Amino acid sequence: MCQRYTITASAGTLRTRFNVVVPDAFEQRYNAAPTQILPVITNQNPGGFSLFHWGLISNLAKNKSISLKLINTRAETLEEKTPFRNALRFRRCLVPADGFYEWKTLGKKTRVPYRIVLGKGEIFSFAGLWEEFEDNEGEMNHSFTIITVPAYAPVSQIHHRVPAILTKDKEQLWLDDSLTDEEHLQLLQPVDSSKINMFTVSPKVNNLKHDSPSLIEHAPPADQFGNYTLFG
């Protein structure tokens, strides 16, 4: 499961990397979390960042409490459930990122946070799906979910699921409406494990009040209470 991620590059760097218009409202995030408004690039608007709510609210369930449970969607079930099958066909998106967090469970009360990056922190995308619906006040709402796949080494050492990462060569294919569902699903493959780097970070990442550059720096392994552990 992906519950937190980072997008720390500047607006100018992201504009160049994705060849898109970046809105003035964009802010670098060191602790992006569910329910927040975050940037995506959709298949319907590939030329710019769209700011959507993280937590998919489908037309079949216009309920924000339900959306909190739909921050992630398993790649294996996309063709089995109607809302996801329709979104796979018509509403795909890229979720720009340069890292994500996972927690290694060492006991009933001990979880150690890690940051996972590609290379030295290169920019990539998560594969995502998005939805829109009109609420009772006539306002359009937009939301997204991040697709996950079974974990691969070395992330499998700390968690059984990982977000589906798309490298630059696959991003435009994911947005391409001319591809079949099967061709889109084939893009959700493990990345080269030799490019994956992960390291322990401060347990301050557990608190959403913290969203600063210090969160992405290497820190000695400590549990969620700040107690140092030998098991990093």
166-217 pLDDT tens trace: 999 999 999 999 999 999 999 999 898 899 999 999 999 999 999 999 999 9
3-state helix, strand, coil in the chain (%, to 5): 25, 35, 40
Among 64-73, 80-89, 125-134, 143-152, whose mean pLDDT is lowest?
Answer: 64-73
Average pLDDT score over the chain: 90
Stated pTM of the model: 0.92
Residue 176 half-sphere exposure toward CB, CA atoms < 13 A: 14
User: How far apart, in whole angstroms, are the C-alpha atoms of residue 172 and residue 166?
Assistant: 10
Catalytic residues: 2, 102
Asked whether the predicted pLDDT for residue 62 surpasses 90, the reply is no
Higher pLDDT, 88 or 61: 88
With a pLDDT cut of 90, the percent of the chain lying above it is 74
Contact assessment for residue 196 and residue 116, using Cβ atoms and an 8 Å cutoff? yes
**Domain 4-216 falls in which CATH fold?**
hypothetical protein yedk fold (3.90.1680)
Q: Is a pLDDT exceeding 90 seen at residue 14?
A: yes
Q: Which amino acid is at 115?
A: R
The answer to whether 54 and 7 are in contact (CB under 8 A) is no
pLDDT higher than threshold 80 for residue 5? yes
Nearest residue to 101 (alpha-carbon basis) of 231, 225, 211: 211
